Amino acid sequence: MDREANYVHHGWSAAAAATVSPWVVSRIGATDLHNAEGTWITKRTLAQRLKVQIVREDLTPAPEFKAAIEEALRQPTTFEKFRAVDRALNRWGDVVPLVSIVDYSGQQRINIVIGSDDRPNQELEMGSSLTPTDTEANFNQLPAMHTYNSLICLSTSRTACIARNGAESCAGWEDGRWIAMDATEWRPIRISAVTPTFTLLSDSLQEQLSELSTKKLSYFPPLTISPIRFLCTIYDDTNNASKTISAVKIHGTDYIVCLSLTYRDGVSSTSRDSGKGGFRHSPFTLVNGEYIIEMLTCSDGEWMRGVQFVTSTGRCSAIYGLLEGAPVISRRKGGILAGFSINTKKHPTWDYLVVGVRGIWRHDVIQSIPKENDMYSDYFGAQRQHGTAFNDCALIGNSNSMYISNIEIRAGAGIDGIQFTYGDASNGQHDKLKSPHHGGFGGISYQFGLGDGEHIISVSGKCDEIYLTQICFGTNL
């Protein structure tokens, strides 16, 4: 059963079920539950015995709830603020909590759920109800019936979800006894609207919560607003950014035709995949607890040529396409990838191709990102001709114990090739590990070995339009 059908099944109106705040959306997305497909139908038989009207201004937050939110907003980091607010809402509820407002002879008290919207008064109905919910296809297979107040008849369905509310001492709904139940057996049977719990707080606290919610997502590279020109399109995953990515799908060759995401609840991101030619690569799949924390892209100035992903476990995807042009490294401190904002343009031969991609980064999932304080230099090198790209992050991963111990450079008139040797101090043995050789084997081999405690702290060089002609490394010694 999907979420809204489940709420309607328990007596919520469609408007009440659709009342979601940014905090509720995050909590729904965190469940990673699949919504069942198809049209759902709910049939309700109600015995209404009481209506309750409430004025929202008469409601005040419990002091403990107010204190929990104030304490959450005092946390030192954005992640800790989000986590503390989520704990408070998990304790007190995303909508107005249960309150005791009906008393009979000073002895029994009936707890009911109340809600409010922009109207001065809000009704909640109490009594008894019998509710079956199922898919439209399954309902059509049931025997024809004029009413749905018979448990015996409804029990013939093997798939329907049936809820009986109130009249708990009487199973024989079809004989009419449920109409005259004692008031102690009345239950809430219809909730026409709800209000988020935080709307009971002061304006100041609501403003602080609203400001915090805007920090949940960020765009990098920065989102700029530019005209959508003829034969250009934009696809954006912001609506899905509260979900958790399970896989990235890539279609392309030396150009990126399409990028799309699959989330853990089964939802796929919206994208256009009409480009001709190319290859649909196997999805880059993430395991539970693994997130994309870095994205490396390259563009030739008009079309996106290549992309690579790095995860929180230190794993790197393949380089899809070509890393041609100046590489752009996209990441956000404390952020995991939650979606894409993609620009595409019609190619004269291959239909629509990706022009550029921005990451949508989410900041309320994990407290710290591995190696988030690492710094990247600006790109320098040839501007007109590009060689084979490489990325040694796949070799280093999340290690904090690996270090460069030697660099081999092959050079003649220009820089032909480069290879790094790493030391690993994690086991005290300082094991050596060589990266693959990058580039050609022409020219003379030059070795630059580093001593104990010596580290490279700067890189400089010269280049022309075609080659890197000089490179120089500076150390801390």
Residue with more model confidence, 203 or 117: 203
Average of pLDDT values for 420-428? 86
- pTM for the complete prediction? 0.81
Given a contact cutoff of 8 angstroms between Cβ atoms, the answer to whether 220 and 336 are in contact is no
pLDDT score at 226: 67
Residue 272 φ then ψ, to 5°:
-105, 120
pLDDT category, 112, cuts 50, 70, 90? very low
78-92 vs 63-73: helix crossing angle, rounded to 10: 170
Report the candidate in 213, 263, 274 with the shortest Cα–Cα distance to residue 240.
263
pLDDT score at 446: 95
- pLDDT at residue 295 is higher than 70: yes
Residue 250 φ then ψ, to 5°:
-125, 130
Query: What kind of fold does domain 217-382 have according to CATH?
Result: Vitelline Membrane Outer Layer Protein I, subunit A (2.100.10)
How far is the C-alpha of 21 from the C-alpha of 213, rounded, in Å?
10
pLDDT category, 1, cuts 50, 70, 90? low
Task: Tell me the helix, strand and coil percentages in the chain, rounded to 5.
Answer: 20, 35, 45
pLDDT category, 98, cuts 50, 70, 90? very low
pLDDT category, 401, cuts 50, 70, 90? confident
How far is the C-alpha of 372 from the C-alpha of 288, rounded, in Å?
21
Residue with more model confidence, 67 or 197: 67
**Ranked by mean pLDDT, which of 77-86, 249-258, 420-429 comes out on top?**
77-86
How far is the C-alpha of 329 from the C-alpha of 295, rounded, in Å?
6
**Ranked by mean pLDDT, which of 33-42, 123-132, 329-338 comes out on top?**
329-338
DSSP classification of residue 12: B
Query: Looking at the DSSP assignment, which residues form a beta bridge with residue 128?
Result: 47
Question: Which one-letter amino acid corresponds to residue 437?
Answer: H
Asked if domains 217-382 and 399-477 share a fold, the reply is yes
CB atoms within 10 A of CB 252: 25
pLDDT score at 382: 74
- pLDDT at residue 110 is higher than 50: no
Q: Is the peptide bond before 221 cis (omega within 30 degrees of 0)?
A: yes
Q: Which residue has the tokens 């995807």?
A: 317
- pLDDT at residue 99 is higher than 60: no
Given a contact cutoff of 8 angstroms between Cβ atoms, the answer to whether 123 and 145 are in contact is no
Query: Looking at the DSSP assignment, which residues form a beta bridge with residue 50?
Result: 126
CA distances from 295 to 189, 335, 400, 412 (A): 50, 12, 20, 34
The pLDDT > 90 percentage for the chain reads 35
Residue with more model confidence, 89 or 1: 89
Average of pLDDT values for 161-169? 70
pLDDT category, 19, cuts 50, 70, 90? confident
Q: Which residue has the tokens 């109340």?
A: 114
Residue with more model confidence, 186 or 354: 354
pLDDT category, 100, cuts 50, 70, 90? very low
Question: Which one-letter amino acid corresponds to residue 324?
Answer: E
Residue with more model confidence, 140 or 106: 140
Average pLDDT of the chain is 82
DSSP classification of residue 95: B
Residue 259 φ then ψ, to 5°:
-125, 130
Helix runs in 273-313, H state only: none
Query: What kind of fold does domain 399-477 have according to CATH?
Result: Vitelline Membrane Outer Layer Protein I, subunit A (2.100.10)
Q: Is 71 left (phi over 0), alpha (psi -120 to 50) or beta?
A: alpha
Question: What is the three-state SS of 121-176?
Answer: CEEEEEEEEEEEEEEHHHHCCCCCCCCCCCHHHHCCCCCCEEEEECCCCCCCHHHC
CA distances from 406 to 398, 403, 419, 433 (A): 20, 9, 8, 10
Over the stretch 449-460, which tens digit does the pLDDT of each residue have? 999 889 999 998
pLDDT category, 173, cuts 50, 70, 90? low
Average of pLDDT values for 242-271? 90
How far is the C-alpha of 313 from the C-alpha of 391, rounded, in Å?
16
Average of pLDDT values for 295-322? 91
Tokens coding 158: 């093997």
Domain ranges of the chain: 3-213, 217-382, 399-477
Residue with more model confidence, 65 or 142: 65
3-state class (DSSP) for residue 242 = coil
Average of pLDDT values for 210-225? 85
pLDDT score at 152: 66
pLDDT score at 456: 93
